[in-house]
Structure 1
Amino acid sequence: MHQAALLGGLIRDAPRYGWEVAGPARHDWKKMAEAVQNHVKSLNWGHRVQLQDRKVKYFNIKASFVNKHTVCGVTKAGKETLLSANHIVIATGGRPRYPTHIEGALEYGITSDDIFWLKESPGKTLVVGASYVALECAGVLTGVGLDTTVMVRSIPLRGFDQQMSSLVTEHMESHGTKFLRGCVPSRISRLPDGQLQVTWEDRASGKEDAGTFDTILWAIGRDPETRNLNLEKAGVAIDPKSQKILVDAQEATSVPHIYAIGDVAEGRPELTPTAIMAGKLLAQRLFGGSLALMDYSNVPTTVFTPLEYGCVGLSEEEAVARHGQEHIEVYHAYYKPLEFTVPERDSSQCYIKMVCLREAPQQVLGLHFLGPNAGEVTQGFALGIRCGASRAQVVQTVGIHPTCSEEVVKLHISKRSGLDPTVTGC
C-alpha cells in the first residue's frame, strides 16, 4: 500500500521525464485492496505448506494454559484438544487498542488491522494517534488521494529521534496530510447521512470542536495477547501495567521452560524481524547446542511514511542522556536526491544525521536517514554500526554515485560548527 501511494507521485513526475500520461491519474482502492489481500493470503498459505514440509504439526485453535506443561486448544466449533510439551513458546503478538472510554469508539472506529481488509475506499479519514503505524496509514491514504487528518495528542513518533520526527510530519503536512495537534477525541456519533461526527478537545485552550469524516482509524498503540491465555495457571508472571510477559536474556519467563518472544514480551522492540531472530536463536539454544543470545541493541528499522525514515542505534536525545552533551558530536546534511531534480521536487526535509562520540576515533552511536529507500540504506549501514564502526571508517568508505546513501559517507559538517549543512553540487 505504501508502494501504491509512492506510485501516485511518480506518475505525476513522469511528464517531466518525457512520458506522455493521458489525463489525471485516478486510484482504484478496490483493485489495490484485492491485490494486497491476495498477497497476504498467499503468504499465509505458504507458511502452512512450509510447516507441513518440515513435519511441524499445525493446529488452527485458540489455546490457553491448563498447567505448566499443558495447553487446551478450542476450535471454532468448540472442540477441545489438550497438548503437552517440555518447552512452550508464547508468540501471540498484540492487537491494536481501542479507546473504550470514548463514546462510539468501538462502534464506529476501525484499526490498522482493518484497513488492509477494506473492500471499499475509506474516503475522508481521521487517523487518531501519532505512532509510526498512524503516520504510515495516513501517508498511504493521502498518497492515494484521500482527504486525511491525523489527530496528535502529544508528540509524533514517540521513542524516535524528535528532530527526524518533526521533519517527517513537516513533509506529510506539505504534501496534503492535515494535523490536529494537542487534541483528544471525546465522542463519535453517526449522522443521518451516514458520516461520522467526531468531537474533540483542544488541550491547550480547553475548547471543544467537531468535524465529520467517513472513517475513523484508531492507531493509539497495541495490547499484548495475554489476557485469554490463563497465564496464572502456569505461573507465568506479567507486568501489571503493560500486561506483557516478563522475560530474561534467554527469553525465558518466570517459568524456566516457558518462553515468550516478540511483541508479547516486556521490553522488546515491537518489530517482526526481531521476533523472528529471537525465535531462531531460541530454537538453536534449545536444540542446536548454541549459547547465542538475541542482541536487542542497534536494531535497525524504518518508518514507511511518504518520505521514509530509517534509523539504527541511538537517537540524539538518547546519546546525550547516556554520554552527556559534551561527549557527543553530530554530523548532518540536507541533500537533494537525484530523482528529485528533474521533476523539481521539494527536498527540504531530506536529511541525514550521524550521532558519534566526540573522542577519536568517534564511534558511531546512531544513524538517522530521511529520504527515498531509507530501509535499503539503513540496512546496509546497520551492519557497520553493529560492528562498532567509527566515523573515520564511514567517511573512508567510497560512495556509490549517484545514490542517496553516498551522502552518508560524505558527512563532514557538525552541528556544533554552526555551518550550513546543505549539500551543493556532487
Structure 2
Amino acid sequence: MAATLWRFGSDGRGVLGRSLYQIKVRGLAGKTEYDLLVIGGGSGGLACAKEATKFGKKVGVLDFVDSTPKGTKWGLGGTCVNVGCIPKKLMHQAALLGGSLKDAQYYGWNVSYPVQHDWSKMAKAVQRYVKSLNWGHRVQLEDRNVKYHNIKGSFVDAHTVQGLTKAGKEIKIMAENIVIATGGRPKYPTNIAGAVEYGITSDDIFWLKESPGKTLVVGASYVSLECAGFLTGIGLDTTVMVRSIPLRGFDQQMAALVTDHMISHRTRFLWKCTPTKVEKLENNQLQVTWKNIENGAEEIDTFDTVMWAIGRAPSIKSLNLENVGVKVNAETGKIIVDSFEATSVPNIYAIGDITEGRPELTPTAIAAGKLLAQHLFGHATEPMDYDGVPTTVFTPLEYGCVGLAEEEAARRYGEDNIEVYHAHYKPLEFTVADKDATQCYMKMICKREGKQEILGLHFVGPNAGEVIQGFALGIKCGATYAQLLKTVGIHPTCAEEVTKVHITKRSGLDPTVTGC
C-alpha cells in the first residue's frame, strides 16, 4: 500500500505515501541517525548534502575512492574536481599558452626557441590546486555540520548502509532518506591482452608525476580528444585510435571540424582501428598491435603510454542495490529514476552520472542535487529540467553547443522543416599571426516556419564555452531567429558572428564572413 501511494501521490511526487512508508519503517527500525545520507562525495552529492542543511536537517556524506589499477587515488570532490573538468581545463590552458607563445613573435614579443614544456612543474601546480579544493570541500561540510564518513558503503536495507572504517571496524548508518551519487569510472577493455596491466585512463593522466611521453589514446570520446589535444599542445607525440566515429552523440559536422583541426596541428589519427594486444618491451616501452577494421591489416607501433578513453561505467557494483530492490538498466548499468530522481524504492534517490537518461555533466548533477534537497525538505514541486543544457568540448579548438544537433533536429522535425544558418569566420586574433581559421565555424538550427524558434546552436572556435553560455539563456527562454537579428553584437568578438549569421545551408551560398 505504501509503495502504491508513493508512486501515485496527489502532488505528483507521492509525499503522502512516502511519509506513511517512513513512519512504518521507523516503527520497525527505531530512530534514524540522519535525515539524509548521501553516498558519494562528488559535485552532485555535495551540492545535495549542503542544500539539505539549509532546512535544518541532519546530513551525512559517505565517500570512498578505490585506487585505479595503477594505484592512483584522490580526495573529496569526485571526478570533476580530481580527474575531470578542473585538471583537464588547466592542462588545456597550458597547451593554449604554448600556442600563444608561437603567435607572440608576430605581435612583437621576442621569444627564444625552442620553447620547452616542463610536465612535472605543470602537474605539481595542477595537483596542488586540486588538493586545495579537496580541503575546501572538507571545510565546507564541517561548516555546515555535515558528517563526513570516509568509508565505502553498501546497503543492508532501504534505510541502512554499512561499511568498513580505515581501521577495519564495521559501522552501520541509518537514514530516513538516502541519495546515491557515486558517479562513474573509466572503462578498461576486457578482451585486450595487457590493457589493464600496462594501460592508464583519465583517472591517472592528471596525477602522473612525469611526462607520459609518446602517447596512444584509444577512443574518440570528448575525454579522449581533450586529453590528446592538450598532450599534443604541450609538445608530445600523440596518436588517437578511433574505432567508429568521433564525439558520438554530438553534431557530426562539428565533430569533424574538431578532429580536422587536431590533425592539422600534429595529432595523428588511426581511423577504423581497434587494438588487439599491448606488450611491455625490455626498454619499458609499450608495443601495441592493432587491426584495421576495413581491410583487416595488422599494424604495430611502440609508445611510452597507452591511455584508454572508451567510455565510463557507473560505480554501483559494491552498493548491493539488489538487497533493497533498486532497479537498474541491465544494458547500461545505470539506475532508473523518475522525473524527481526517485528510484524504485520510496526513500532512495539517485543523481548524476549513475542515472539513466541524464547528461553526464557536473552542472546538471549539482542542479539536480540542490533541487532534490528542496523537494525532500522544502517546497519545490517542479522536476529538474534537463533540456537545453549547454556544454563544451575543450579540444585545442573548442566546440560549444546547446540544444539539438542538426541530425537530431532533422530526425525530430524533418529536414524540410528546419533551417540551418551557418558561417565560417576568422577570429581577429588569428589575423596578425596569419593562423589558419578553416575550422572556425558556427551554425544555428531553427524551425523553418513561424517565428523560427532556435533549436540548437553549435560553435567551433576560441573560447567556445564562454560564447555558448550567454546564448544558452536566450535559447532556454525560447529565442527566435528574428530576435537574434535584433541583438547587437559586441565588436570585435567571435561571439558577434552568431548575431550576424544569415546564410542558410539550403541556399548553397558561400557562408564565409567577409569584412565587418
TM-score bucket (shorter structure): over 0.9
Matches for 1:48-127 after TM superposition, within 5 Å: 48-127=138-217
| SS at structure 1 position matched to 2:318 | coil
How big is the alpha-carbon RMSD for the aligned residues of Structure 1 and Structure 2? 0.6
- Return the alpha-carbon distance in structure 2 between the equivalents of residues 393 and 97 of structure 1: 44
| SS at structure 1 position matched to 2:349 | strand
- Return the alpha-carbon distance in structure 1 between the equivalents of residues 324 and 121 of structure 2: 47
The alignment status of 1:204 with 2:314, answered yes or no, reads no
Q: Which residue of 2 aligns with 1:322?
A: 412
| SS at structure 1 position matched to 2:270 | strand
The alignment status of 1:382 with 2:472, answered yes or no, reads yes
- Return the alpha-carbon distance in structure 2 between the equivalents of residues 309 and 361 of structure 1: 27
- Return the alpha-carbon distance in structure 2 between the equivalents of residues 58 and 142 of structure 1: 40
What letter corresponds to residue 388 of structure 2 in structure 1? Answer: N
- Return the alpha-carbon distance in structure 2 between the equivalents of residues 40 and 234 of structure 1: 36
Structure 2: 5+ residue stretches without partners: 1-90
CA apart distance, 1:40? 0.8
Q: Which residue of 1 aligns with 2:230?
A: 140
| SS at structure 2 position matched to 1:49 | helix
What letter corresponds to residue 22 of structure 1 in structure 2? Answer: S
Q: Which residue of 1 aligns with 2:133?
A: 43
CA apart distance, 1:204? 0.2
- Return the alpha-carbon distance in structure 1 between the equivalents of residues 282 and 148 of structure 2: 47
What is the TM-score of this pair, normalised by structure 1? 0.99
Q: Which residue of 2 aligns with 1:333?
A: 423
| SS at structure 1 position matched to 2:104 | helix
Provide the aligned length of Structure 1 versus Structure 2.
426
- Return the alpha-carbon distance in structure 2 between the equivalents of residues 123 and 354 of structure 1: 40
Instruction: Encode CA deviations 1:201-240: one digit per residue, 9 max, x unaligned.
Output: 1000011111100000000000000111000111101011
What letter corresponds to residue 317 of structure 1 in structure 2? Answer: E
| SS at structure 2 position matched to 1:85 | strand
Q: Which residue of 2 aligns with 1:423?
A: 513
Instruction: Encode CA deviations 1:181-208: one digit per residue, 9 max, x unaligned.
Output: 0000001001111110000010000111
The alignment status of 1:284 with 2:374, answered yes or no, reads yes
Q: 1:347 aligns with which of 425, 437, 457?
A: 437
Q: Which residue of 2 aligns with 1:16?
A: 106
Structure 1: 5+ residue stretches without partners: none
Q: Which residue of 1 aligns with 2:221?
A: 131
What is the aligned-residue identity percentage? 71
- Return the alpha-carbon distance in structure 2 between the equivalents of residues 256 and 298 of structure 1: 29
CA apart distance, 1:23? 2.7
Q: Which residue of 2 aligns with 1:411?
A: 501
CA apart distance, 1:55? 0.7
- Return the alpha-carbon distance in structure 2 between the equivalents of residues 63 and 105 of structure 1: 29
Q: 2:403 aligns with which of 310, 313, 317?
A: 313
What is the TM-score of this pair, normalised by structure 2? 0.82
- Return the alpha-carbon distance in structure 1 between the equivalents of residues 370 and 387 of structure 2: 17
| SS at structure 2 position matched to 1:86 | strand
CA apart distance, 1:289? 1.0
What letter corresponds to residue 307 of structure 1 in structure 2? Answer: L
Q: Which residue of 2 aligns with 1:234?
A: 324
- Return the alpha-carbon distance in structure 2 between the equivalents of residues 253 and 309 of structure 1: 34
Structure 1 stretch 289-298 or stretch 164-173: which is displaced more? Answer: 289-298
What letter corresponds to residue 271 of structure 2 in structure 1? Answer: R
- Return the alpha-carbon distance in structure 2 between the equivalents of residues 330 and 281 of structure 1: 35
Instruction: Encode CA deviations 1:93-112: one digit per residue, 9 max, x unaligned.
Output: 00000002110000000001
Instruction: Encode CA deviations 1:279-309: one digit per residue, 9 max, x unaligned.
Output: 0110111111111211111110000000000
Q: Which residue of 2 aligns with 1:263?
A: 353
CA apart distance, 1:75? 2.1
- Return the alpha-carbon distance in structure 2 between the equivalents of residues 402 and 74 of structure 1: 59
Q: 2:241 aligns with which of 141, 147, 151?
A: 151
Q: 1:358 aligns with which of 409, 433, 448?
A: 448
CA apart distance, 1:24? 1.9
CA apart distance, 1:78? 1.7
The alignment status of 1:399 with 2:502, answered yes or no, reads no
- Return the alpha-carbon distance in structure 2 between the equivalents of residues 379 and 75 of structure 1: 43
| SS at structure 2 position matched to 1:424 | coil
